[in-house]
Chain A
């Protein structure tokens, strides 16, 4: 258990509304990630962070923004939700040894988002 929680766990919203998903970790991990998972696709990286205020885009970042103002929290925002953003969203961390990212990821429980 890597001490990762996500909130909310389930959300139904309407097209055009803003949505923010929260990932919280308790173990001071430096690297955090947001993925989405859809049938027929593997987990796809949306954005990731390698430290406070340090973030970068993944392969499916359009329509999403992130913020990391504290080590423990990584927020994913859908500025104006669309039906194509209906998905399961997972947050993950990478463990770091010294200053080097260790090659394993651990995931939060996920958020199921439905955009009507």
Chain B
């Protein structure tokens, strides 16, 4: 089993739709969680950290469920510019970052 697994995708949604991405991790010692965004042929860029209480940044909401070892990202009112691959990243205590394989999103006009 991979350490970090994500929805295989791709997700093709119309503009204005709400889309949710799921991520599960296997290492219960994981202490920090992130969502990164990666545009085609570009480097990953930090979208948001994920806190235990859940957090929101504009149209983006991240949730963490430590008991189920599950992280989610919700995008509301999708824009064309949201088209990208979304990477779930986990940082276990005392170890290095572990990246999921990513879920590709295409927002269609």
Contact = CB atoms under 8 A, between A and B. Distances in A.
A104 B35 CA distance: 11
User: In the complex, which range does the number of interface residues on chain A fall in?
Assistant: 10 to 19
A106 B99 contact: no
Interface string B27-55: 00001101000000011111001000000
Interface of A: 33, 35, 40-45, 48, 58, 90, 103-110
B96 A108 contact: no
Given A90-B43, A109-B43, A42 B96 contact: no
A106 B87 contact: no
B43 A104 contact: no
Nearest to A105: B97
Contact of B44 (A43, A44, A48, A103): A43
A90 B96 CA distance: 15
Contact of A43 (B31, B34, B46, B99): B99
A103 B32 contact: yes
Given A33-B96, A103-B49, 16 more contacts: A40-B101, A42-B98, A42-B101, A42-B102, A43-B87, A45-B96, A45-B97, A58-B96, A90-B43, A104-B34, A105-B46, A105-B97, A107-B43, A107-B45, A109-B43, A110-B43
A65 B34 CA distance: 29
A114 to B, nearest CB: 14
B62 to A, nearest CB: 14
Contacts of A105: 46, 89, 97
B42 A42 contact: no
B19 interface: no
Interface string B45-87: 1100100000000000000000000000000000000000001
